[in-house]
Copies of this chain bind each other. A is one copy, B any other.
Amino acid sequence: MSREIRLASRPSGWPVPENFELAEVESPPPGEGEIGVRNLFMSVDPYMRGRMNDAESYTPPFRIGAPLDGGAVGEVVVSRSPDLAPGDIVTHGYGWREYAVLDAGQARKVEEIPGVPLSAYLGALGMTGLTAYVGLLDIAHFKKGEAVFVSGAAGSVGSLVGQIARLKGASRVVGSAGSPEKVAYLIHDLGFDAAFDYRDGRIREQLAEAAPDGIDVYFDNVGGDQLQAAIDELRMYGRVAMCGAISVYNATEPVPGPNNLFLAVGKRLTLRGFIVSDHQARLPDMIAELGAWLREGRLVSMETVVDGLENAPRAFIDMLRGANTGKMLVRLAR
């Protein structure tokens, strides 16, 4: 017997607990080439909100009545594949359930790093880390000596973007977050040069004060007003990595775009959207670099952990509202 979270109904605007249902299911035994995995942690991510709509996107929408899915890390307990053995730790895409049966080819075995918790493979050493790494280096083409601004900077991806930029020699790292506590965390714990609370308003003024010489790179997790402010502050040949737009995910009406986008012409700006799944080939590079920094204690991998599958919908909703610092995870077993 296992438990899973299903989509009960599609949210209109902000999701509510009633959009989800917890179900008990009997798991089938793994077939030839399959494995059975006891999930230890699952990830809740902003992009999942888009999949709850009945709309074509870069990933297919979740189906009503079916279990949700997403990143998870777990321990193989049954294997009918020569490639994996019981006791192996794997990451895979069948989260939102306590026990998963999947094709062994869909799982990636984790090479454990001493001193690094398994949950990191959903965060700094997983898709979250790869998103930060690829977005900053391959999409925004950050170079040593440049100034970087990242929104959602206390979140899972943003907290890594700022740290990677700092460790790679940024001239200035600026972040925005949604509370004074998070702003203090960015500066005192993660080594940001400056940070501000976007809920205070005056976003453009706050950004201009935080980065008085302008910025070269904006890593955009939120869209909206912060993207507009960044376009104002970007220097010549600046780049925007468009990673997500959490500020509009729950909007029920179209949200106006930046009213200064035409500045991209004279400033020769590049705005580029990306999806991490296109960039799996960079995973080994990312794990090598970030893994070394983690071991050496130079990179902080912050997590907000909620216990129990039954609390996963609440963790997801809270994450969308910014309740987390660092990566939001649900612990499914110890």
Binding site for B on A (CB under 8 A): 50, 57-58, 223, 227-228, 242-245, 248, 254-275, 278
Please tell me which one of the listed residues B245, B257, B263 contacts residue A265 in the complex, with CB atoms under 8 A apart.
B245
Question: Chain B residues near A267 (CB, 8 Å)?
Answer: 58, 273
* A–B Cβ pairs within 8 angstroms, 23 of them: A58-B266, A58-B268, A227-B261, A228-B257, A242-B265, A244-B262, A254-B259, A255-B259, A256-B256, A256-B259, A257-B258, A258-B261, A263-B273, A264-B271, A264-B273, A265-B274, A265-B275, A268-B272, A268-B273, A269-B272, A269-B273, A270-B272, A271-B272
Check A243–B265 contact: CB distance below 8 A.
yes
CA gap between A271 and B242 in the complex, in Å: 11
CA gap between A78 and B181 in the complex, in Å: 71
Complex copy number for this chain: 2
Question: Chain B residues near A274 (CB, 8 Å)?
Answer: 265, 268
Question: Chain B residues near A256 (CB, 8 Å)?
Answer: 256-257, 259
CA gap between A271 and B258 in the complex, in Å: 13
- A256-B257, A257-B261 given; 14 more Cβ-contact pairs under 8 Å: A242-B262, A244-B265, A245-B261, A248-B262, A254-B260, A258-B261, A261-B261, A263-B273, A266-B273, A266-B275, A268-B273, A269-B272, A269-B273, A271-B272
Question: Chain B residues near A257 (CB, 8 Å)?
Answer: 228, 256-261
The residue on B at minimum CB distance from A257 is B257
CA gap between A259 and B248 in the complex, in Å: 10
Q: From residue A174, how far is it (CB to closest CB) to chain B in Å?
A: 22
CA gap between A57 and B223 in the complex, in Å: 25
Check B268–A278 contact: CB distance below 8 A.
yes
Which of A254, A262, A267 has most chain B Cβ within 10 Å? A262
Question: Chain B residues near A254 (CB, 8 Å)?
Answer: 259-260
Question: Chain B residues near A271 (CB, 8 Å)?
Answer: 261, 264, 270-272
Question: Chain B residues near A278 (CB, 8 Å)?
Answer: 268
